[in-house]
């Protein structure tokens, strides 16, 4: 029975029409009367005290004399904004449950709850304790996700019932007003979902706020929803975390079931206790997840810092990189090289994706769980990458790591069709219960599971580690370069000193063998003269070699004398010198177009052209030898020059070695001989200008030397 009272005299303004059943009175008998008309003044005072908060004992045990004798009730009194409400539930005896029996029911639970080691274990224990307290057929714990959809995360039930554990429920299954009420009242109890509703007979025709009412009848939608599931009695206890509804403990019974107010109070207390502990357990769980992640991270970072190849260290073993962000696929992009791990789009798709995603990055990261909606080409690979997390390590070097998640379609088991919670009625959407509770898969189209903030942190930490390792390696490299430079300088100084000092005794050998030949040849036989001749020519040869070495070592110390140089003039002079030293040479020189004026050291560049032209002339067995000199201008890049001939050509495996000092491919006698230092000197000069040199050639069909000067 429910009474709406006007304070302070507690006049009855409204009363439920069922008072006749319990008290043998008509509503009209009570309307307008003070409460003391129904109960003795002492009890009325106790109710008034309960309303003012002086007495916190709720419920009060009341006895009411009726024409059928004394009847006992639990009375719960409270205030709304406008009136006072008293709710009466019939009980068998007026004896109060002692504090000790309540304590006995609850005491053990607290220590058990605290000793559970994980969130799932804790929630399971809570469900089991609620079932022990209430005797309901099924007790479940729902957890809400950020969208309001629920998932059954713990369950205990009668053995013959089919399980609901793991099922998801759409947010619309528990409408927002119902959620708000759970958050305010902690507990909702419906002993018989099919009980007919009872009218309020009113004196003042005012609507009453029944938000806090225990006896409030049930919304038709809720009745039908649960009837479809075969549920007859329902108890729902709120689980709160930081003033937000985190989830619910939902209890189902398949026949009507009444719980005394003491049991309900124990359940509410348990809900509050569980809510308090919930925050701890969630923190613990997050902490243990973070610890796991951190140890994974440090393992990965250690491998990266020890490895000579960062990519290998990242992708071996593959699951480690994926676990770092709970992804199913990943791509590591270092410059042009992309390595794929797990389930990913194709290389080409990843390449285009990086180009696009790089424009979306903020703070080195870009994460989305609905890639196909913002990057339409990804519809093609939604099964592997509906979710993308991109980490930019360096834009300039094009260093990225990408993680992928599949479309969530396969991963959720819905308890019924979430879309069918809505029905169109007269053109407008109305909430209506669902008719089917068969399992089926909801197609959450083109979306992946969302990226959690700690997963993004984890990606960011990896970036810091990689940058650290790369920087350290760069420092090591710089140090090695410094040392190399120093030893190169020492080597050049040594080569200079050695070749310089060698020249003097060599000159002596040459001079004395010449004197011997001139003044003492008559004293020797022919063999002796021959030996002396050989000594003389060997010392000459050795001098040319030493000169070449000296030239090269001097180049090592050379300062470039850069100036604007007209290459046409420079080349004409070089050609003139070449033909002056080889007056018998038969070779045509082709210069298809004017060469540019460039900034370079003219003396050294002239040596480059002379050397290359002289080689073109030497290594040619054709009847009509020619050499062509030209350039190839490229916008924004240094010009490439070439010296092409129609000579004997060079085999491919010698294309690099010919630039080494004293490397010759032919014997001394063939093709006019040489020291094998010419190309080494040419290469040195080109490199001094910051350029490169290389050759292309087909044996027998000539050779083309290309070089650039920065
Ligand atoms: P060398 O003083 O022997 O000419 P280089 O350093 O100038 O020394 O050249 C190294 C070797 O490369 C030569 O011995 C020759 O075999 C080969 N070579 C150089 N230029 C040409 C060319 N234009 N055509 C074919 N072979 C060449």
Last residue of a domain, one of 285, 320, 351: 285
CA–CA dist 407, 455 (Å, integer): 18
468 in any annotated domain: no
**How many angstroms separate the alpha carbon of residue 643 from the centre of ligand 1?**
13
Query: How many H helices and E strands in the chain?
Result: 17, 28
203 in any annotated domain: no
The reply to whether 113 and 82 lie within a common domain is: no
The range of the structural domain enclosing residue 699 comes to 563-708
The reply to whether 614 and 693 lie within a common domain is: yes
User: Of 287, 290, 267, 277, which Cα lies nearest the Cα of 241?
Assistant: 277
- For 35-58, give the DSSP string: GGGTS-HHHHHHHHHHHHTS----
Largest CA distance in the chain: 167
681 in any annotated domain: yes
422 in any annotated domain: no
CA–CA dist 626, 628 (Å, integer): 7
Instruction: Specify the residue with its C-alpha closest to ligand 1, atom 16.
Output: 665
Residue with tokens 């592997």: 384
Strands 422-425 and 563-566, bridge-based pairing: unpaired
The reply to whether 579 and 682 lie within a common domain is: yes
130 in any annotated domain: yes
- Record the tokens describing residue 64, joined without a space: 């009411």
Contact residues for 697 (Cβ-Cβ < 8 A; gap 6+): 649, 650, 652, 655, 703, 704
The reply to whether 106 and 75 lie within a common domain is: no
CA–CA dist 445, 442 (Å, integer): 9
Q: Can you give the pLDDT at residue 53?
A: 81
Q: Can you give the pLDDT at residue 413?
A: 59
Output the domain CATH number for residue 130: 3.30.450.40
Question: 566: buried, middle or exposed (CB in 10 Å: 19+, 13-18, 0-12)?
Answer: middle
The reply to whether 621 and 693 lie within a common domain is: yes
CA–CA dist 612, 298 (Å, integer): 56
Q: Can you give the pLDDT at residue 434?
A: 47
- Quote the number of domains for the chain: 5
478 in any annotated domain: no
CA–CA dist 707, 598 (Å, integer): 14
The reply to whether 571 and 595 lie within a common domain is: yes
**How many angstroms separate the alpha carbon of residue 591 from the centre of ligand 1?**
22
The reply to whether 654 and 571 lie within a common domain is: yes
CA–CA dist 210, 438 (Å, integer): 35
CA atoms within 13 A on the CB side of 560: 18
User: Of 439, 443, 369, which Cα lies nearest the Cα of 166?
Assistant: 439
Contact residues for 554 (Cβ-Cβ < 8 A; gap 6+): 496
- Record the tokens describing residue 652, joined without a space: 């491919």
Other residues' Cβ atoms within 10 Å of the Cβ of residue 331: 25
Pocket test for ligand 1, best of 658, 682, 703 (most atoms within 8 A of CB): 658
- What sign does the CA torsion over 642, 646, 649, 652 have? positive
**How many angstroms separate the alpha carbon of residue 615 from the centre of ligand 1?**
6
CA–CA dist 455, 387 (Å, integer): 13
Who lines ligand 1 at CB under 6 A? 615-616, 619, 645, 647-650, 658, 663-666, 674-680, 703
Residues of the chain with pLDDT under 70: 56, 96-102, 105, 409-444
Pocket test for ligand 1, best of 619, 647, 654 (most atoms within 8 A of CB): 619
The reply to whether 126 and 243 lie within a common domain is: yes
**How many angstroms separate the alpha carbon of residue 618 from the centre of ligand 1?**
8
H-helix segments, 366-452: 371-374
The reply to whether 263 and 365 lie within a common domain is: no
Are the C-beta atoms of 659 and 687 separated by less than 8 Å?
no
Q: Can you give the pLDDT at residue 224?
A: 84
Between the alpha carbon of residue 333 and those of residues 353, 391, 396, 456, 462, the distances in Å are 12, 10, 13, 18, 14
Pocket test for ligand 1, best of 615, 626, 648, 678 (most atoms within 8 A of CB): 615
The reply to whether 254 and 321 lie within a common domain is: no
Q: Angle, nearest 10°, between helix axes 526-557 and 678-688?
A: 10
């Amino acid at each position: 029975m429910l009474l709406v009272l006007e304070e302070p005299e507690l006049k009855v303004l409204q009363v439920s029409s069922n008072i006749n059943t319990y008290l043998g009175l008509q509503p009209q008998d009570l309307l307008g009367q003070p409460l003391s008309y129904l109960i003795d003044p002492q009890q009325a005072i106790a109710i008034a005290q309960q309303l003012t908060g002086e007495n916190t004992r709720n419920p009060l045990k009341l006895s009411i004399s009726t024409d059928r004798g004394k009847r006992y009730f639990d009375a719960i009194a409270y205030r709304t904004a406008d009136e006072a409400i008293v709710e009466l539930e019939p009980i068998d005896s007026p004896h109060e449950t002692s504090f000790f029996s309540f304590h006995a029911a609850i005491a053990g639970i607290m220590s058990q709850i605290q000793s559970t080691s994980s969130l799932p274990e804790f929630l399971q224990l809570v469900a089991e304790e609620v079932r022990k307290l209430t005797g309901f057929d099924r007790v479940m714990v729902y957890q809400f996700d950020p969208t309001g959809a629920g998932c059954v995360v713990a369950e205990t039930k009668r053995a013959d019932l089919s399980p609901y554990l793991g099922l998801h429920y759409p947010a619309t299954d528990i409408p927002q007003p119902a959620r708000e009420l759970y958050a305010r009242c902690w507990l909702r109890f419906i002993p018989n979902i099919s009980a007919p509703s009872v009218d309020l007979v009113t004196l003042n025709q005012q609507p009453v706020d029944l938000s806090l009412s225990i006896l409030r009848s049930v919304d038709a939608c809720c009745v039908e929803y649960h009837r479809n599931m075969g549920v007859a009695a329902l108890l729902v206890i709120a689980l709160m975390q930081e003033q937000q509804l985190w989830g619910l403990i939902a209890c189902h019974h398949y026949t009507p079931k009444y719980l005394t107010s003491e049991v309900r109070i124990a359940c509410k207390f348990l809900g509050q206790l569980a809510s308090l502990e919930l925050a701890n357990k969630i923190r613990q769980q997050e902490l243990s997840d973070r610890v796991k992640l951190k140890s994974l991270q440090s393992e990965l970072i250690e491998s990266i810092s020890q490895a000579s190849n960062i990519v290998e260290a990242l992708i071996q073993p593959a699951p480690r990189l994926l676990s770092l962000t709970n992804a199913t696929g990943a791509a590591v992009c270092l410059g042009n090289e992309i390595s794929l791990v797990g389930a990913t789009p194709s290389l080409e798709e990843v390449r285009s994706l990086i180009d696009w995603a790089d424009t979306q990055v903020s703070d080195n990261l870009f994460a989305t769980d609905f890639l196909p909606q913002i990057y339409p080409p990804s519809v093609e690979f939604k099964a592997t990458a509906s979710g993308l997390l991109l980490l930019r390590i360096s834009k300039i070097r094009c260093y990225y790591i990408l993680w992928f998640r599949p479309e969530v379609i396969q991963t959720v088991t819905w308890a019924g069709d979430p879309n069918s919670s809505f029905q169109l009625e007269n053109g407008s959407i109305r909430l209506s219960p669902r008719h089917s509770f068969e399992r089926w898969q909801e197609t959450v189209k083109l979306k992946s599971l969302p990226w959690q903030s700690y997963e993004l942190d984890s990606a960011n930490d990896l970036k810091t580690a990689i940058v650290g390792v790369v920087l350290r390696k760069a420092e090591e490299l710089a140090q090695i370069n410094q040392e190399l430079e120093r030893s190169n300088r020492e080597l050049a100084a040594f080569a200079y000193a050695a070749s310089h000092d060698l020249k003097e005794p060599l000159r002596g050998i040459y001079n004395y063998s010449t004197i011997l030949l001139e003044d003492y040849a008559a004293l020797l036989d022919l063999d002796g003269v021959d030996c002396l001749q050989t000594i003389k020519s060997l010392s000459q040869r050795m001098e040319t070699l030493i000169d070449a070495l000296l030239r090269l070592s001097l180049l090592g110390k050379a300062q470039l004398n850069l100036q604007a140089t007209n290459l046409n003039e420079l080349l004409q002079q070089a050609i003139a010198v070449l033909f002056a030293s080889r007056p018998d040479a038969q070779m045509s020189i082709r210069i298809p177009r004017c060469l540019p004026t460039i900034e370079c050291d003219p003396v050294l560049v002239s040596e480059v052209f002379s050397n290359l032209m002289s080689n073109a002339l030497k290594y040619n067995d054709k009847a009509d030898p020619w050499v062509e000199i030209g350039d190839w201008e490229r916008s924004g890049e240094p010009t490439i020059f070439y010296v092409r001939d129609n000579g004997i050509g060079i085999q491919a495996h010698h294309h690099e070695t010919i630039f080494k000092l004293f490397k010759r491919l032919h014997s001394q006698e063939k093709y006019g001989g040489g020291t094998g230092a010419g190309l080494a000197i040419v290469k040195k000069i080109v490199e001094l200008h910051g350029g490169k040199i290389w050759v292309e050639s087909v044996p027998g069909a000539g050779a083309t030397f290309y070089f650039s000067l920065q």
